[in-house]
C-alpha cells in the first residue's frame, strides 16, 4: 500500500488526518498551564465529568483515558479474566485478528465464533458455553463485541439486551470495543445510547482516534467490581501518560457540547452519499451498512481506474472480475471529494 500522494482522495481509513481544529486550538490555549501528571489534570477531570454526564442519572461508572484501542482492550480484558478464563469473540474481532496476539500476550485464549456480518448472537454464546464442559478447556468469561463491528455493521438494543441476558444467566461479562462507537450511535437505525451501553455492558470504550482526536480512547467501567485499582492496570500496561492532559483536552473538547456526535454524523453522511451514489450506478455491496464504512463490489477495470485518483482498501476478491472495496469516511472527509469520487465512478 503506497500512498502519501497529496492530491489523491483518501477513503482508506478514518485516521489519515490530524485532529478537529477545536482540539488543536484548545491544546494551544492551555499549553502553558501547569497541571498534575498521569491523568490527574483538570482537563481529564472535566472530560470524565462530561462523559459521565451522558451515562444517566445515578450512574456509577468510572472513566479512564488511554492512548489507543489495543491498549484499551488488553488493559481492560486483562483485569476481567482469571488466568484460565477466556474471551468469546466473533472471528472478525479486532482482538482476534489485528492486534498481533495482544490478548494472548496477557495470557488468555480467545474463543472465536463464525460470523458473516461481524456480529454474534446470544444463541452462539450458548453454543460456546456448551462446548466448554470441564477443566481441560478454558472457561469462557467475557463476551467481546465491537460496535460498529469491523465490517461496519451495528448492534440493535434488542440484540445487546439478549447478549446481556445470556451473560447474566451464565456469569459472563460483556466488553464492547467502541473504536467506532460514534459512527454506530449516529446511524439512522440506531436505537442505542451511551446510557444503554453503561447499563448493558460491564465495560466499553469510546473511540476518539477515529472520530476527530489525535489519539485517545475513553474506557468506561460500569461493573463496580472491575473499577477497583484500574489505574494500576493502566500503568502496568504502559498506558498511563505522563502528560495525561493531552488525552484530557481532547475528550474535554469532543464532549464539550456535542462535537463528538457531530463529527460522527458527518462521517456517516459522507458514507451515505457514497452508498447512494454507488447504488444509483447499479453496483451491489458486500454487506449493507449504515456506518462510516462502505463495501461496494466493483468491476476490476473500474477499480484500477479509481485507484489512480483515490486511496482505498481492496477488501475481498469476489470473482475474477469483481472485488469488494472498503471505503471509509471520517470527520475530515470533504463533500467535494465524495462527489468527485462518484463522478469518476460514472466515468
Restricted to residues 281-340, the positions that interact with a second copy (CB under 8 A) are 311, 332
Q: Which one among 137, 257, 276, 335 touches a second copy, defined by CB under 8 A?
A: 137
Q: Does 4 bind a second copy (CB under 8 A)?
A: yes
Minimum CB separation from a second copy for residue 11, in Å?
Answer: 10
Contacting a second copy within 194-223 (CB under 8 A): 209-210, 214-215
CB 237 within 8 A of CB 78: yes
Let me know if 188 is exposed, middle or buried by CB neighbors in 10 A (0-12, 13-18, 19+).
Answer: exposed
User: What's phi and psi for 79, nearest 5 deg?
Assistant: -95, -5
Residue 116 CB, shortest distance to a second copy, in Å, is 17
The cell numbers describing 184, all together, are 454506530
Judged by CB under 8 A, which of 90, 118, 178, 239 binds a second copy?
Answer: 239
Of 54 and 144, CB closest to a second copy = 144
Q: 299 and 322 in contact (C-beta within 8 Å)?
A: yes
Answer for which of 46, 59, 106, 227 binds a second copy (CB under 8 A) is: 106
**What whole-number distance in Å separates Cα of residue 286 and Cα of residue 308?**
23
- 117: nearest Cα among 146, 85, 86: 146
The stretch near a second copy (CB under 8 A) out of 230-238, 277-285, 286-294, 313-321 is: 230-238
Establish if 280 lies at the interface with a second copy (CB under 8 A): no
SS3 187: coil
Distance CA 318, CA 337 (A): 26
Applying CB under 8 A, which of residues 158, 168, 224, 236 lies at the interface with a second copy?
236
- Binding residues with a second copy: total (CB under 8 A): 83
Strands 203-207 and 217-221, by their bridges, are antiparallel
Q: Is 128 in the site for a second copy (CB under 8 A)?
A: no
CA angle (219 as vertex; 73, 184 as ends), nearest 5: 85
Residue 231 in the binding site for a second copy (CB under 8 A): yes
Segment 240-259, which members bind a second copy (CB under 8 A)? 240-243, 245-246
Q: Which is nearer to a second copy, 190 or 250 (CB)?
A: 250
CB of residue 27 to a second copy, shortest distance in Å:
6
Cis peptide before 109 (omega within 30 of 0): no
Please report how close the Cβ of residue 221 comes to a second copy at its closest, in angstroms. 14
Please give the residues from 23 up to 62 whose contact with a second copy meets the rule CB under 8 A: 24, 27-28, 30-38, 41-42
Complex with a second copy: residue 103 or 200, whichever CB lies closer: 103
Residue 139, CB-side half-sphere exposure with 13 Å CA sphere: 13
Q: Which is nearer to a second copy, 61 or 250 (CB)?
A: 250
Residues with Cβ within 8 Å of residue 290, at least 6 apart in sequence = 154, 187, 188, 189, 190, 268, 271, 272
Is residue 136 within the footprint of a second copy (CB under 8 A)? Answer: yes
Amino acid at each position: 500500500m503506497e500512498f502519501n500522494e497529496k492530491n489523491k482522495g483518501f477513503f482508506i481509513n478514518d485516521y489519515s488526518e490530524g485532529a478537529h481544529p477545536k482540539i488543536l486550538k484548545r491544546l494551544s490555549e492551555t499549553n502553558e498551564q501547569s497541571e498534575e501528571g498521569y491523568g490527574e489534570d483538570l482537563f481529564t477531570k472535566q472530560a470524565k465529568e462530561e462523559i459521565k454526564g451522558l451515562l444517566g442519572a445515578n450512574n456509577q461508572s468510572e472513566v479512564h483515558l488511554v492512548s489507543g484501542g489495543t491498549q484499551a482492550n488488553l488493559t481492560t480484558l486483562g483485569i476481567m479474566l482469571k488466568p484460565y478464563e477466556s474471551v468469546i469473540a466473533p472471528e472478525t474481532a479486532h482482538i482476534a485478528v489485528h492486534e498481533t496476539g495482544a490478548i494472548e500476550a496477557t495470557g488468555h485464549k480467545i474463543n472465536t465464533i463464525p460470523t458473516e456480518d461481524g456480529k454474534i448472537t446470544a444463541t452462539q454464546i450458548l453454543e460456546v458455553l456448551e462446548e466448554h464442559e470441564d477443566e481441560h478447556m478454558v472457561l469462557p468469561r467475557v463476551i467481546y463485541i465491537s460496535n460498529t463491528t469491523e465490517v461496519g455493521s451495528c448492534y440493535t438494543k434488542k440484540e445487546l439486551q439478549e447478549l446481556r441476558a445470556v451473560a447474566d444467566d451464565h456469569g459472563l461479562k460483556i466488553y464492547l470495543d467502541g473504536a467506532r462507537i460514534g459512527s454506530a450511535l449516529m446511524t439512522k437505525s440506531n436505537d442505542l445510547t451511551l446510557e444503554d451501553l453503561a447499563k448493558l455492558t460491564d465495560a466499553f470504550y469510546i473511540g476518539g482516534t477515529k472520530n476527530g482526536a489525535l489519539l485517545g480512547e475513553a474506557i468506561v467501567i460500569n461493573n463496580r467490581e472491575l473499577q477497583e485499582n484500574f489505574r494500576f492496570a493502566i500503568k502496568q500496561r504502559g498506558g498511563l501518560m505522563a502528560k495525561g492532559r493531552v488525552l484530557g483536552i481532547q475528550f474535554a473538547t469532543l464532549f464539550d457540547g456535542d462535537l463528538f456526535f457531530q463529527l460522527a454524523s458527518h462521517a456517516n453522511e459522507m458514507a451515505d452519499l457514497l452508498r447512494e451514489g454507488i447504488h444509483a450506478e447499479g453496483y451491489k455491496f458486500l454487506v449493507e451498512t449504515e456506518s462510516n464504512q462502505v463495501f461496494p463490489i466493483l468491476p476490476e477495470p473500474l477499480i484500477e481506474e479509481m485507484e489512480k485518483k483515490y486511496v482505498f482498501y481492496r477488501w475481498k476478491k469476489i470473482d475474477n472480475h469483481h472485488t469488494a472495496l472498503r471505503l471509509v469516511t471520517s470527520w475530515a472527509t470533504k463533500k467535494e471529494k465524495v462527489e468527485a469520487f462518484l463522478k469518476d465512478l460514472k466515468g
